[in-house]
Amino acid sequence: MKVTIDGIEIDVPKGTTILQAARLIGPEVAPPAMCYYTKLKTSGGYCRTCIVKVSKGSTANPNPMPKPVASCRTEVMEGMEVQNFTSPEILEARKGVVEFLLINHPLDCPVCDQAGECKLQDLGYENGSANTRYEFKRREFETIDIGDKIKLHMTRCILCYRCVKVCDQITDNRVHGAIHRGDAAEISTYIDKAITNDFSGNVIDVCPVGALTDKTFRFKQRVWFTKPVDAHRKCTKCSGKTRVWLKGEDVLRVTARKDQWDEVQEFICNSCRYDHKKKSDWVIEGPSPIARQSVISQNHYEHLNDLKVEIMKQQKALGFMDLEKRP
């Protein structure tokens, strides 16, 4: 099926959603997505950040769709034309969505462990407006302890339901979900049961904000002062392929590896995540690919070293004094 997104045409199989088609073209047209997650069935349709304008429904019915649609839940039709970043109305509408998502979200980024890898932070910078019109009290919740490994900050939750789907689809014995409805809805372990399933730690990786964070990493280090490397070990429960976050020789935390859309490549087990915090537990494969615009890449000087070596080579060739030996 041929679909055109922001003027770029692509041929995709029937059943592909607009969001998937846009991702196949690339980040220059792909809408942001806060609740859709490729590896979680029935995800998407909650947050509305992925809205696009369908300016032509299909070749058979060229009428535009009357209002913005959620691209993660709308399948492409033959001849469909879609506008995302090229539509000023969509950019304006998305600003409104971001404003809504931020209504109850506390601005505690300076003390939040998710800072530097928070999708809401990125969304706010890239698609939000600098001001809020909200003047009421933000939501507050009783603190719920969901075990010794995961910290729940309900005030930061944007109710994307990804963690609920992880527990539903990846772990046995689901014990957590969303209770209540509307602005009273909250993520809970229903009867305060701790999440102890083998794969429950994956809720940390799928949470786009700092609502679910790793208690074993809490307040240990800002993420941009750590060095992520891809590593593996022999594991009987999962593939054992992880991302290990180092500070010198210390393993500060272990997470799943993520792809360019910030989605987990393979879910990992709790044993890999929590029980192997020695560098010698892992076979290090090399530095993890981190997006250049991410704050995490800011403190990695490898590329500056390469640059220095190159400059020194050129200076030597030109007969300049060696930088290292300068008085």
Residues found near ligand FES in the complex (CB under 6 A): 33-36, 44-50, 70, 72
3-state class of 27 per DSSP?
coil
C-beta of 1 vs 50, nearer to ligand FES? 50
State CA 52 to chain mean position distance.
Answer: 20
DSSP state of 258: B
Whole-angstrom distance, CA of residue 16 vs CA of residue 247 = 42
Residue 195 as a binder of ligand SF4 (CB under 6 A): the answer is: no
**Nearest CA-CA partner of 208 in 130, 262, 267:** 262
Q: Does 162 bind ligand SF4 (CB under 6 A)?
A: yes
- Extended strands (E) in 260-316: 283-287
1 binds ligand SF4 (CB under 6 A): no
DSSP letter at 322 equals P
**Least Å distance between CB 35 and ligand FES?**
4
Distances (CA, A) of 98 to 70, 125, 135, 241, 276: 14, 10, 16, 34, 38
Q: What three-state secondary structure class fits 189?
A: coil
Residue 168 near residue 183, CB atoms below 8 Å: no
Q: Which listed residue (12, 22, 112, 187) binds ligand SF4 by CB under 6 A?
A: 187
Which of ligand SF4, ligand FES, none sits in contact with 45, Cβ below 5 to 8 A by type? ligand FES
Q: Is-contact 163 207, C-beta < 8 A? A: yes
Closest to ligand SF4 by CB, 32 or 208: 208
Cβ neighbour number for residue 114 with a 10 Å cutoff: 21
Residue with tokens 């509408």: 93
The count of other CB atoms within 10 Å of the CB of residue 281 is: 14
Closest separation in Å from C-beta 212 to ligand SF4 = 5
Q: Does 212 bind ligand SF4 (CB under 6 A)?
A: yes
209, 244, 269, 296: which one contacts ligand SF4 (CB under 6 A)? 209
Residue 159: other Cβ atoms inside 10 A: 18
**Interaction of residue 163 with ligand SF4, rule CB under 6 A:** yes
Neighbours of 253 (CB within 10 A): 25
Q: Which of 5, 70, 98, 159 binds ligand SF4 (CB under 6 A)?
A: 159
| Minimum distance, C-beta of residue 30 to ligand FES, in the bound complex (Å) | 11
Residue 146 binds ligand SF4, judged by CB under 6 A: no
Q: Which of ligand FES, ligand SF4, none lies near 282, with the C-beta cut-off 5 to 8 A by kind?
A: none
Place of tokens 């590593």: 231
Q: Tell me whether residue 179 or residue 323 sits nearer to ligand SF4 (CB atom).
A: 179
* 158 belongs to the binding site for ligand SF4 (CB under 6 A): yes
Residue reference for tokens 């940390």: 204
Residue 209 binds which one of ligand FES, ligand SF4, none, with CB within 5 to 8 A depending on kind?
ligand SF4
Closer CB to ligand FES, 27 or 62, in the complex: 27
> Closest approach of Cβ 59 to ligand SF4, in Å?
38
- In the list ligand SF4, ligand FES, none, the entry touching 159 (Cβ below 5 to 8 angstroms by class) is ligand SF4
Interface positions with ligand SF4 (CB under 6 A): 157-163, 187, 206-209, 211-212
